[in-house]
């Protein structure tokens, strides 16, 4: 058992920091986070797992693409819910949720709180989970980007992925898979994401050979001690390390294959967006390009190793796509699980999530843009209708004014012609009309 703050934020001395909700690092990206060999160890462990080779010290689970992240638990005999992470406020009643002033708390956390009061959750125990659905209005559910088949049971659905022991005000993470039996309720579908005890179909021979080839290439790169020393030291150069991670994140949404040429092109764009002075930007250009030029061979090796680990990961995710039966949460035809999570014997967690144009990050970005467009259309429609109506009124008013002005001009013209007739002289501007139409006296 580990302290929550240690387990989720520090993990261990040479591993990346994580936020309260447990931001996970791509297995390929671990090459630049202090222990390059962790990438190979994790890939080997996942390969063994998918080949039905058991492991007592490693944990594996499917990564669900849920909606709101929440925490539910019992503290000193009282059931509570939280939004997102353990550091947020606790809500013990619907009235508490309403007092937050946030309607989505009431509509999403409210149904969970109602059922949680009837669950057999151990005292001073909590679970971190994703909300999957809160109604059965459709045959499919889409809490975020991935579409899932609606489970046969449950008025609401949750996907728990972490369990805690509460000690005072602290939450201590339990390394074992969550005890989902404590969350049982006749109206709640609980996704079973742990896969340690699940059986997979036999992997295709060609796929297995592809994974072995890429693991061997990765192993050969990591046999170079100078490269490993370079890779492990990258996080000491904080500015460059942050920029490099930014490049890898961008690649995850776009190409899915990294290269030194692309990284060099990324550097000036990244620096230009930085909110620092011109002199600082200029110096960073010089420092970063000099560092890359001085270590060109190591960067070539790094990106080759990264691509090899990504290819191996993709082959494993293809195999997962043939084994959706390992969980009771099934993606629709044409969709796949977000990915998998591996936790090693030291509690270090790595995510296996597809990269590139067909990857989750790209699809999630497209889904986000789609939702943003829908919101803009919904909010702008009343305004547009009002604008059109107002414009119509303006046009009608102008037409009415024009007609009125025309009538006034006509009346004025008749008066002028009559006055001229009375005075015995026709208006100078219409002599022909007056002379032809005026009767003799």
pLDDT in tens, 287-312: 999 999 999 999 999 999 999 999 99
For range 30-45, the mean pLDDT: 98
- In this prediction, residue 410 carries a pLDDT of 60
pLDDT in tens, 266-284: 999 999 999 999 999 999 9
- In this prediction, residue 284 carries a pLDDT of 96
pLDDT in tens, 81-128: 999 866 789 999 999 999 999 999 999 999 999 999 999 999 999 999
Assign domain 69-192 to a CATH class. Answer: alpha beta
Beta strands in 248-401 (DSSP E): 339-343, 349-353
Per-residue pLDDT at 425 exceeds 50: no
What sections of 51-176 are H helices per DSSP?
94-99, 103-104, 110-116
**Which tokens in the block code for residue 271?**
């620096």
- Global pTM? 0.79
| Cβ count within 10 A of residue 250 | 16
Q: Are 108 and 81 in contact (CB under 8 A)?
A: no
| Cβ count within 10 A of residue 53 | 9
Angle at 236 between CA 291 and CA 230, to 5 degrees: 60
Out of 51-55, 379-383, 391-395, the most confident range is 51-55
Q: Are 354 and 339 in contact (CB under 8 A)?
A: yes
Buried b (16+ CB within 10 A) or exposed e, 402-424: eeeeeeeeeeeeeeebeebbeee
Angle at 133 between CA 141 and CA 196, to 5 degrees: 85
Of the ranges 70-74, 307-311, 417-421, 428-432, which one carries the lowest mean pLDDT score?
428-432
Residue with token string 């819910």: 81
Q: Are 71 and 355 in contact (CB under 8 A)?
A: no
pLDDT bin (cut points 50, 70, 90) of residue 130 is very high
pLDDT in tens, 328-358: 999 998 899 999 999 999 989 999 999 999 9
- In this prediction, residue 384 carries a pLDDT of 55
- In this prediction, residue 4 carries a pLDDT of 39
d(CA 279, CA 155): 59
pLDDT in tens, 43-82: 999 999 999 999 989 999 999 999 999 999 999 999 999 9
- In this prediction, residue 432 carries a pLDDT of 42
pLDDT bin (cut points 50, 70, 90) of residue 168 is very high
Residue with token string 């046969």: 152
């Amino acid at each position: 058992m580990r302290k929550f703050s240690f387990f989720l934020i520090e993990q261990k001395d040479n591993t990346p920091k994580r936020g309260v909700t447990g931001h996970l690092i791509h297995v390929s990206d671990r090459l630049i986070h202090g222990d390059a060999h962790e990438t190979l160890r994790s890939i080997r462990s996942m390969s063994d797992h998918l080949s039905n080779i058991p492991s007592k010290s490693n944990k594996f689970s499917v990564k669900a693409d849920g909606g709101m992240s929440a925490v539910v638990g019992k503290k000193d005999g009282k059931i509570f819910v939280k939004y997102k992470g353990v550091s947020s406020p606790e809500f013990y009643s619907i009235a508490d949720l309403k007092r937050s002033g946030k309607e989505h708390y009431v509509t999403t956390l409210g149904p969970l709180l109602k059922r949680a009061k009837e669950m057999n959750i151990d005292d001073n125990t909590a679970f971190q989970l994703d909300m999957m659905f809160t109604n059965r209005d459709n045959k499919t559910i889409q809490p975020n980007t991935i579409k899932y088949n609606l489970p046969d049971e449950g008025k609401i659905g949750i996907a728990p992925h972490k369990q805690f022991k509460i000690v005072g005000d602290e939450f201590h993470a339990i390394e074992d898979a969550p005890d989902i039996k404590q969350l049982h309720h006749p109206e709640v579908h609980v996704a079973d994401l742990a896969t340690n005890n699940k059986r997979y179909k036999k992997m295709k021979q060609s796929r297995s050979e592809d994974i072995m080839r890429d693991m061997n290439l990765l192993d050969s790169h990591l046999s170079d001690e100078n490269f490993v020393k370079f890779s492990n030291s990258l996080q000491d150069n904080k500015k460059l390390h942050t920029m490099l991670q930014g490049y890898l994140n961008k690649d995850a949404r776009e190409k899915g294959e990294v290269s030194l040429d692309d990284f060099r092109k990324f550097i000036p764009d990244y620096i230009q967006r930085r909110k620092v002075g011109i002199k600082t930007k200029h110096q960073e250009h010089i420092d970063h390009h000099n560092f890359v030029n001085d270590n060109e061979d190591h960067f070539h090796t790094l990106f080759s190793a990264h691509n090899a680990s990504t290819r191996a990961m993709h082959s494993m995710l293809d195999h997962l796509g043939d084994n959706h039966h390992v969980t009771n949460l099934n993606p629709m035809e044409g969709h796949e699980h977000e990915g998998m999570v591996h936790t090693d014997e030291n509690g270090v967690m790595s995510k296996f999530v597809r990269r590139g144009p067909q990857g989750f990050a790209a699809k999630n970005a497209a889904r986000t843009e789609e939702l943003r467009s829908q919101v803009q259309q919904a909010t702008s429609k009343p305004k547009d209708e009002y604008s059109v109506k107002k414009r119509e009124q303006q046009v009608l008013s102008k037409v009415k004014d024009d007609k009125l002005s025309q009538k006034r001009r006509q009346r004025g013209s008749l008066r002028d012609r009559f006055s001229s007739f009375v005075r015995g002289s026709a208006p100078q501007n219409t002599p022909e009309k007056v002379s032809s139409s005026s009767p003799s006296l």
